[in-house]
Amino acid sequence: MPAPMTRLRDEHDNVEKLLKILESQSTGATGGRPDYGLMEDIAEYFLTYPDAVHHPCEDMVYVKLAERRPDQAREIGDLVTEHGRIADATRSLANTLRLIDQDGAVTHHEFHAVVQGFVAAQRAHMQKEEVVFFPAAEQTLTAEDWNAINIQFEVHTDPIFGHNLEERFVTLRNRIFSWNDDSSPC
Ligand SMILES: [Fe+2]
Ligand SMILES: [Fe+2]
């Protein structure tokens, strides 16, 4: 599998870990008050890495696919615009959490709806990529295409799951790795 594809798929697994945390916090599965600070860290991470690095890498793959197989790209739909909408949803999540932090008027219903909408949109998006977009790209792009994409992708490091953990995400990373799929979500 081309290196960028392996990384993009691994990053979907990482995103799913964070979605599980968001979900468990918003549904009250953890008991007690949601940890809004932890959720703010998650929103910050989405703005810093998936929206700023993962999606732009997929955009490069999509543009190359559209060049080589416009029919396949049409079938997938406008992925670049979809990434823009997802980034809007991240900002909306971050704003909602910030408002709660500042004791702004956000009802539990609004909070729950924003989080659930974000989680559902992320999952639907990743599912579409894994079922339609990634296989089409793997089938169509050449080794030269992948090398060119990899050169631009590999200079970016994931601030939580990469080799250089950023200080601001230490708490979040510890929470992620303090449980696995078989234990209770934090
Ligand atoms: Fe994407
Ligand atoms: Fe993706």
Q: Residue 157: count other Cβ atoms within 10 Å of its Cβ.
A: 14
Ligand 1 centroid, distance to 176 Cα (angstroms): 22
pLDDT for 105: 82
Ligand 1 centroid, distance to 39 Cα (angstroms): 21
CA distance 169 to 173: 6
Contact 157, 50 (CB under 8 A): no
CA distance 155 to 164: 12
CA angle, residues 18, 34, 125, in degrees to nearest 5: 30
pLDDT for 180: 57
Radius of gyration of the chain (CA): 17
Ligand 2 centroid, distance to 34 Cα (angstroms): 27
Give the closest ligand to the alpha carbon of residue 51. 1
Ligand 1 centroid, distance to 130 Cα (angstroms): 10
Ligand 1 centroid, distance to 65 Cα (angstroms): 14
Judge residue 109's burial from the number of C-beta atoms within 10 Å of its C-beta, 0-12 exposed, 13-18 middle, 19 or more buried: exposed
**Nearest CA-CA partner of 126 in 68, 46, 72, 65:** 46
pLDDT, tens digit (0-9, with 9 covering 90-100), for 50-105: 999 999 999 999 999 999 999 999 999 999 999 999 999 999 999 999 999 888 78
Ligand 1 centroid, distance to 6 Cα (angstroms): 14
**Residue whose structure tokens are 């696919």:** 65
Ligand 2 centroid, distance to 174 Cα (angstroms): 24
The pTM for the full model equals 0.92
Amino acid (one-letter) located at 5: M
Give the closest ligand to the alpha carbon of residue 56. 1
pLDDT for 115: 96
pLDDT, tens digit (0-9, with 9 covering 90-100), for 127-163: 999 999 999 999 999 999 999 999 999 999 999 999 8
The ranges assigned to domains in the chain are 3-177
- Strand extents, DSSP E, 45-147: none
| Token reading at 154 | 């590999």
pLDDT, tens digit (0-9, with 9 covering 90-100), for 155-177: 999 999 998 899 999 999 999 98
Architecture of domain 3-177 in this structure: Up-down Bundle (1.20)
